[in-house]
Amino acid sequence: MNVQAPGLEQARELLIKFYGYPDFREGQKKIVESLLRGSDTLGIMPTGGGKSICYQIPALLHDGLTLVVSPLISLMKDQVDALTAMGIQAAFINSTLSGREVNDRIRRAQRGDLKLLYVAPERLELDWFREEMSQLPISCVAVDEAHCVSQWGHDFRTSYLAVAPFVDSLPQRPILAAFTATATPQVMDDIVRLLRLREPGTFVTGLGRDNLAFHVLRGEDKKAYIMNYVRERAGEAGIIYAATRKDVDDLYQRLRDAGLAAGRYHAGMSDDERAESQEAFLYDDIQVVVATNAFGMGIDKSNVRYVLHYNMPKNMEAYVQEAGRAGRDGDPSQCILLFGPQDIVTQKFLIEQNPQDEERKRNDYRKLQQMVDYCYTTRCLRSAQLDYFGEAHDDTPCGNCSSCTDERELVDMTVDAQKIFSCIHRMRERFGATMVAAVLKGSRNKKVLQYGFDSLPTYGVMGNRTEKEIVEIINVLISEGYLSLSEGQYPVVRLQQLAAEVLKGQRQVMQRIVRHATAVSGGAGGRRSRDAYPSAVNETVFEQLRLIRRDLAAKEHVPSYIIFNDATLREMSVANPQSEADMLRIKGVGEVKFRKYGKPFLDFFLNQTGDPVPVYDDDF
């Protein structure tokens, strides 16, 4: 018989009451148990996996205050808005507040009127703030986006190094909890060491977002693809990431000129412009945002149906976090990366432009090459992601990514691979892929002739292919482990043991190298497949429920998803609730939210005409 940890049943009751979910997910349950035992805790959970619940529920059961360290103003506001909508006492302190407002919130915390207080890590470096916090009964410090403490993470912030000294300065040490969506084993070690976690319970719930379909497409006309993709999904929310401000502005203007409801977000815009664009997206006033990676960390918008990457991101951590902003509500969503060789050049330029020490730069180049390998791999993309983050898994393909759904026959590439490996060997493994391709093609360029490579037996042996095609094959062979690249801005191609086996005739190379990417369509990546949802979903009812939600959101001055997310509305449309009890059985409809927002939705179903019910005025 399983004995539940002290307080877990009370925690479940609060989950039902405030959040409307019948039980914790397995990963959440273990983390909540750990925090209720008073243990330091490290939780690695995917974006959209419900990290915030893991510290919000224990905060309600612990005596005193939970201090949440959060990196972005927008993230704090979204979290506090959502908590307030559920009837939970929470506030934030950041640079948008006046001195009087900051003091007022600190006084509220001192009176015990707050259970959660969100602050930026920079606050912890201020003497006066540390002094004020020392007067509060802080039971737990929860550190969100904890990977920011590691210089080997993808978003290092020196202010996160202030967390451990701050905790040590408190009269009584609170429980310390750290959360992040993406962390390699090296980053996890850094989190434990630099935050000074004491014998923490460590819980890795994995990248298990089965509702996300990952696709890498090469050789596409990127601009045309994006225009068609967004146009075909009118009414669905999406994010398009681009590497540079110039690309963001260009795509934004193209979408606007096509009459599509688009916004943009990058560091070259004013604070007011960025805030306006983000708010329009959150409130569903625009359909899609084109943005650099500056956008999104603080976005809890649950109904993002697709994330498109116009360029390859700088590393896998950034990609998984950005792509994971799709489908937070659990509904099927698409994550599509449009890759081209120019992306590598762009990311190398950005690395060189970033002032940092040589060790950090080498690490960035290594991570970039791993991202390139991901773009060229023919393996299951989910497996490739899990391997990168060191997560144990079986070899079962996900059946949902572009590799798994590629139905083309494998081609025996052994002879071409032998030609490439032989050429690299004869060039003494001292040159990059471009130079190797030039020799194999039989180029007469200056460097090839200068080094005398035109006299090699492998000179021109792949003259029937373009240099670009040869480089593509080399990149595939790198991603599959036959070749490796040295680190740095100008990497050198080197042979691996697998290549030696191929040269000796001991191994075949089977590849799908001509990726003439068919447009991602249907349930895999194009228009949302209706089969992905229960057949009983009435799309007309669903749209009417969205109208009711939109009016309520406008009245409450909060984003629509804070009222109820799309998944909850879809379940309503299937369940056809006829009473309060029926409503409370729907996931996402807690007691507090039902009392605050539920009546217009219930009345809609009780209204036999099926006409949209107007939102009630202030006496509702």
Residue 383 sits in a domain whose CATH number is 3.40.50.300
The SS3 call for residue 360 is: helix
Q: How far apart are CA 349 and CA 369, in angstroms?
A: 14
* Same domain for 475 and 368: no
Domain range for 305 is: 212-388
The SS3 call for residue 469 is: helix
Q: How far apart are CA 83 and CA 389, in angstroms?
A: 32
Q: How far apart are CA 485 and CA 502, in angstroms?
A: 18
Calculate mean pLDDT across residues 169-180.
94
Give percent helix, percent strand, percent coil of the chain, each to the nearest 5. 45, 10, 40
Residue 560 belongs to a domain:
yes
What is the enclosing helix (H) or strand (E) of 56? helix 51-61
pTM confidence score? 0.71
* Same domain for 196 and 49: yes
Residue 518 belongs to a domain:
no
Highest-confidence segment of 47-61, 115-129, 270-284:
115-129
The SS3 call for residue 214 is: strand
Q: Tokens 């977000």 appear where?
A: 265
The SS3 call for residue 548 is: helix
Q: What is the per-residue pLDDT across 196-209, written as a single tens digit (0 to 9) for each?
A: 999 999 998 866 67
Which residues, 6 or more positions from 47, have their beta carbon under 8 angstroms from its beta carbon?
181, 209, 320, 321, 324, 325, 328
Confidence of residue 530 (pLDDT cuts 50, 70, 90): very low
Q: How many folded domains does the chain comprise?
A: 4
Confidence of residue 612 (pLDDT cuts 50, 70, 90): very low
* Same domain for 224 and 114: no
* Same domain for 61 and 198: yes
Q: Look up the CATH number of the domain holding residue 433.
A: 1.10.10.10
Say if CB 322 and CB 181 are below 8 A apart: no
Nearest to 36 by CA among 51, 54, 20: 54
Q: How far is CA 225 from CA 139, 221, 222, 240, 249, in A?
A: 51, 6, 5, 12, 17
Residue at which a domain ends, from 476, 511, 546: 511
Calculate mean pLDDT across residues 75-87.
86
* Same domain for 88 and 152: yes
Tell me which of 49-58, 276-285, 297-306, 321-330 is least confident.
Answer: 297-306
Nearest to 208 by CA among 79, 35, 392, 376: 392
Percent of the chain's residues with pLDDT above 90: 47
Q: Is the pLDDT of residue 6 over 60?
A: no
Q: Is the pLDDT of residue 271 over 90?
A: no
Cα Rg for the chain, rounded, in angstroms?
Answer: 27
Residue 498 belongs to a domain:
yes
Highest-confidence segment of 46-50, 69-73, 76-80, 546-550:
546-550
Tell me which of 263-267, 450-454, 530-534, 561-565 is least confident.
Answer: 530-534
Confidence of residue 520 (pLDDT cuts 50, 70, 90): low
Q: Is the pLDDT of residue 532 over 90?
A: no
Q: Is the pLDDT of residue 518 over 60?
A: no
Confidence of residue 534 (pLDDT cuts 50, 70, 90): very low
Residue 2 belongs to a domain:
no
Confidence of residue 537 (pLDDT cuts 50, 70, 90): low
CB atoms within 10 A of CB 498: 18
* Same domain for 92 and 162: yes
* Same domain for 124 and 28: yes
Q: Is the pLDDT of residue 610 over 80?
A: no
Q: What is the per-residue pLDDT across 27-58, written as a single tens digit (0 to 9) for each?
A: 899 999 999 999 999 998 877 678 899 999 99
Residue at which a domain ends, from 165, 183, 204: 204
Confidence of residue 154 (pLDDT cuts 50, 70, 90): low
Residue 521 belongs to a domain:
no
Calculate mean pLDDT across residues 378-406.
85
Calculate mean pLDDT across residues 358-382.
87
For the record, the structure tokens of 234 come out as: 């009118």
Could you write out the three-class secondary structure of 277-342? HHHHHHCCCCCEEEECCCCCCCCCCCCEEEEEECCCCCCHHHHHHHHCCCCCCCCCEEEEEEECHH
Q: Is the pLDDT of residue 436 over 90?
A: yes
pLDDT of residue 74: 72
For the chain, give the number of residues.
Answer: 620
Strand order in the sheet with 212-218: 212-218, 333-339, 304-309, 237-241, 288-291, 262-265
Highest-confidence segment of 176-190, 228-242, 280-294, 397-411:
228-242
* Same domain for 241 and 200: no
pLDDT of residue 420: 96
What is the enclosing helix (H) or strand (E) of 104? helix 99-110
Nearest to 68 by CA among 191, 190, 175: 175
pLDDT of residue 531: 38
pLDDT of residue 207: 67
* Same domain for 167 and 22: yes
Calculate mean pLDDT across residues 330-359.
86
* Same domain for 251 and 384: yes
Residue 50 belongs to a domain:
yes
Confidence of residue 4 (pLDDT cuts 50, 70, 90): very low
Residue 228 belongs to a domain:
yes
Tell me which of 428-442, 464-478, 517-531 is least confident.
Answer: 517-531
DSSP letter string, 366-426: HHHHHHHHHHH--S-HHHHHHHHTT----S---SSSTTTT--SPPEE-HHHHHHHHHHHHH
Which residues, 6 or more positions from 133, have their beta carbon under 8 angstroms from its beta carbon?
67, 166, 170
Residue 395 belongs to a domain:
no
* Same domain for 351 and 295: yes
For the record, the structure tokens of 184 come out as: 């390699």
Residue at which a domain ends, from 204, 225, 253: 204
* Same domain for 557 and 507: no
The mean pLDDT of the chain is 85
Confidence of residue 293 (pLDDT cuts 50, 70, 90): confident
What is the enclosing helix (H) or strand (E) of 603? helix 599-606
Confidence of residue 11 (pLDDT cuts 50, 70, 90): very high
Say if CB 107 and CB 101 are below 8 A apart: no
Residue 497: Cβ-neighbour burial (10 angstroms; 0-12, 13-18, 19+): exposed
Nearest to 473 by CA among 421, 550, 431: 421
Q: Look up the CATH number of the domain holding residue 548.
A: 1.10.150.80
